[in-house]
Chains A and B, each alone.
Chain A
Amino acid sequence: MNRWMIAILAATLSLTAMAQQEELKALPGYVEFGELSSVYGEPKVMINIGGTILKFMSAATKDDPVAAKLFKGLQGVRINVYSTAGQTGPAMEQLTKVKDILMNDDWEPIVQVKESDEEVQIFMKLDGEAIQGLVVMAVDGEEAVFINILGMIEPSQLSEVMEKFDVDVDL
């Protein structure tokens, strides 16, 4: 196939991913994690699941009401994972920057674990009693993980779904 055709089609696919990213950016629970590719290279895991596909996932799990309800409330799921290979400095720096932004933007710190070689921060964005977003940032000598879950989240539903799904993946 001619190179320009491949280029246009490849650009289309990245356009779709970008469109999903843009769709999520407009939501109140969206958090910009910044750029770490220049230090660690491309993320080893990068996932952006938009609201549209989550609604279809909800419809596809009608036999599991808890999962269906969870998917229905969610508006987006994002994750960026970088391999730190023992070089945690830049990721810790980024984590601190994001943490400061969240603190200034009325996100609630839920769990903060800080040790010499690793740090975990979990924040929630509340709108009254409803949760609009959840952020989990975890950095250690192996990897830097940035998770952003957008939408109405019931933590109990989330943990129930985590128990039901076989999520004990060997990461």
Chain B
Amino acid sequence: MIPVLLILIPLISGFAGFFIRNGNGAKKWSLFSSVITLLVSIAGLSIYNGKAYLNFDAEWLTGLGSRFSVSLDGLSQILSLLTAISFPVIFISTYRNEYKNAKNFYALMLLSQAGLMGVFVATDALLFYFFWELALIPVYFLSSQWGGEKRIQATFKFFIYTFTGSLLMLVGIIYLYTQTPNHSFSLDSFYSLHSKITGATQGWLFWLFFIAFAIKMPIFPFHTWQPDTYEQSPTAVTMVLSGIMVKMGLFGVIRWLAPVLPIGTWAWGDTASALCIIGMIYASLIAMQQDDLKRLVAYSSIAHIGLMCLAIFATTKIGMQGVMIQMFNHGINIIGLWVVVNLIERQFHTRKISELGGLAQKAPALAILLVIVALANVALPLTNAFVGEFLMFSGIYNSVATTYNVVFTVTAGVCIILSAVYMLNMIQKVFYGNTNELTQNAKDIYPNEKIILAVLVIIIIAIGVFPQPILELTKNVVDSIVTKMNYKT
């Protein structure tokens, strides 16, 4: 029942949101709804052993072999928890932003949450595809309506890219469906296919799925939509896009691609890994040159996601474990960065690093919190990302699925150093040095933002020091996925 509630609460409250008369009411309503979702999600964690609450299955399209079946396992629990935490954080941290037609804005935000939840809990391929698209449409409208100057072109590019990818995935899904013995879209019958489909077929099926997921993550060379879209979207939407939506791509690979097509994944894993590596280096180098805060964070995100994708293809339990925890961490860390970007942009009406400086003197609380978030992004020990990246690196290095494990480890390691370069450089230029005309009247942050950042910092350090609960949560699912990936004819 829990997964159904996770979808229904935002869905219904989202539709209701369209009918709220004033914008302020809609703001409170959406915050209320997202907090309820968070509580339900936490309740789902606490009854980890109560299987009956975590699964739901009902008839939907019987003739087509598709059922409305949703379930929460470790993987979907961690991602739905991330989604559930993110939305209240987003709503509170952007509480002071004013939007035209605010009720529509908040209603669409809730609808996108419903879509994201659906993606993470669906165990039926057609249902998964439905939610995959359902998450996209509200975000398209949000970015196009409330974004920056070049929003229409930027988000349209984003939409066409992702839509093309998902149509290719649809072809793949239908093809797999026609191969299932009982003509079913269920995850289990997809998992039973690995021995029935020949290696050559798995090869091209791999690409149908991987392109869809690679566009979403994004992986080089499918990433070109991302910096523009992040830059042009309103910050609240950018948080959704970068904190949660990119996880849809990683989630797709972990749940719907690698275990379903193990031979295809094994055959093309090196190619995909090479793309990840190229993307990481490329994005890190560009991030170093950026003067716009939003674009800097966007490119740093490409680099981090590339590492996670690389660790998936390493096909080791330890690496996969790292991916699981890092998906959560990356969401928390990047939302923290966006909160800061949002504060800076609202106060100074600029995102140019070169126009800012000396903020630490004027806003010490902000500076401390940002530094912690930024260091977490660089994966310093004691922060959450260190745990994830350490596990991923050891997974990549010990990988037997590829012969280039050392090369991959070393180049990926270089990217981590580069990420320290651009993050610290950004901190130095924005927060230290002398104040200028623009920043000398800077105020420190408001209490609501301070609380949000403090909460994020607490999560960062708590997971950094004691990651065991999350590792326990995802242990079973990691075992079963890696076992499936290791299938060889």
Report if A and B associate in a common complex.
no
Residues in chain A within 8 A of chain B (CB atoms): none
